[in-house]
Structure 1
Amino acid sequence: MTTALSIDSPRVEDGAAIWRIARDSEVLDLNSSYSYLLWCRDFAATSAVARGTDGEPIAFITGYIRPERPDTLVVWQVAVDEAHRGRGLAGTLLEALAVRATAAQGIRAIETTVTPDNTASDRLFASFAARRGASLEREVLFDGGLFPDGGHQPEVLYRIGPIAG
């Protein structure tokens, strides 16, 4: 299925590689390199990386606990290095993170946003919900007109739950 040797929490040293994977995806909104370093430091417990045979990150998921809903994991970004796509790695990462977050933090739901043209993410989260026997609700969270840079598609909120470890 994949060439990853391990899936674990990101370390600060992974920030640059995660930033490069996000940049090279050409579909994610790229955050500053500094933000990925902070993410690896402050949100490592709610994020995951898959490591290749050399120990370097080949895929990642960043996430955080929603402050108003402490039983909800918000998945911020998911990306797989181009050389490792098409092998189910994103789904494997999401499963591993869900298992860890439900066991360690009592997560019962996952939220994320997906733009209407992102069929890969739609399939990832729909298949995750189906495998878990969880409901999947969709609604527009942020209309495209709210974004200051213009031309942004709406961000559709996906809420999956309940999930169990």
Structure 2
Amino acid sequence: MTAAPADCAHARSEFLTIDTPRVEDGAAIWRIARDSEVLDLNSSYSYLLWCRDFAATSVVARDASGEPVAFVTGYLRPDRPGTLVVWQVAVDPSHRGSGLAGELLDALTSRVAEASGLSAVETTVTPDNTASDRLFTSYARRSAVPLEREVLFADDLFPEGKHLPEVLYRIGPFPS
């Protein structure tokens, strides 16, 4: 399902818009994730699938030429349909520090809440990722809802033996 342009695309400035990702954005999103140097990089194929199958629960920021410069990918948990899981957030280095990640997160959660209801947001953050910690902590504060943290996947669960634990951030519940 793709939201109507008026539902999800609005001008951030005269140069950036927030929009629903399209399959054609998959390669650019993969490059932004790769260049972040902090995200676990998935296969390029997975970003194409994400743009096809989870476009309604993801957003991109586009520059004046229409090219993606930032994204948030997410999905609704099958066992908790009111819970949006934020999978990845990345901003091109040339647009970092402007609050764009927070604006994308706000736009995505607003759209999901309107389309299907939203009771909570979940994501995982490694202990060394201070930017993501700040992003989700400030999001919970802006939304005036609780934020709980607990280890979801301990470091010894990862096969490569050098992955930090993934801490679950559960934000909500949101008012009905």
Q: What TM bracket, shorter-length normalisation?
A: over 0.9
**Structure 1 residues 84, 142: CA separation in 2 closer, same or farther (over 3 Å shift)?**
same
Identity of aligned residues (%): 73
Whether the 8 Å contact between 1:4 and 1:58 is mirrored in structure 2 is no
Partner of residue 67 from structure 2, selected from 53, 56, 60: 56
Q: Corresponding residue for 2:136?
A: 125
Please list every run of 5 or more consecutive structure 1 residues that lacks an aligned counterpart in the other structure. Answer: none
Paired residues for 1:14-163 under 5 Å: 14-163=25-174
3-state SS of paired residue (2:160): coil
Per the alignment, do residues 57 and 164 of structure 1 end up closer, same or farther by CA in structure 2, a change over 3 Å counting? farther
Q: TM-score, normalised by structure 1?
A: 0.97
Greater RCO, 1 or 2 (C-alpha within 8 Å, sep 6+): 1
SS at match of 2:121: strand
Runs (4+) of structure 1 exceeding 2 A deviation are 1-5
TM-score by length of 2: 0.91
For the 8 Å contact 1:115–1:153, the answer to whether it is kept is yes
Checking the alignment, whether the CA contact within 8 Å between 1:46 and 1:65 is kept in structure 2 is: yes
**Could you tell me which residue of structure 2 aligns to residue 9 of structure 1?**
20
Equivalent position amino acid for 2:67 in 1: E
Deviation of 1:2 after TM superposition, in Å, equals: 6.1
C-alpha spacing 1:91/1:46, structure 2 compared with 1 (3 Å)? same
Matched residues, number: 165
* Unaligned runs of at least 5 residues, structure 2: 1-11
Quickly say closer, same or farther: Cα 1:3–1:136, change in 2 above 3 A.
farther
Counterpart CA distance in 2 for 1:42 and 1:4 is 27
SS at match of 1:149: coil
CA shift, 1:164, in A, is 5.0
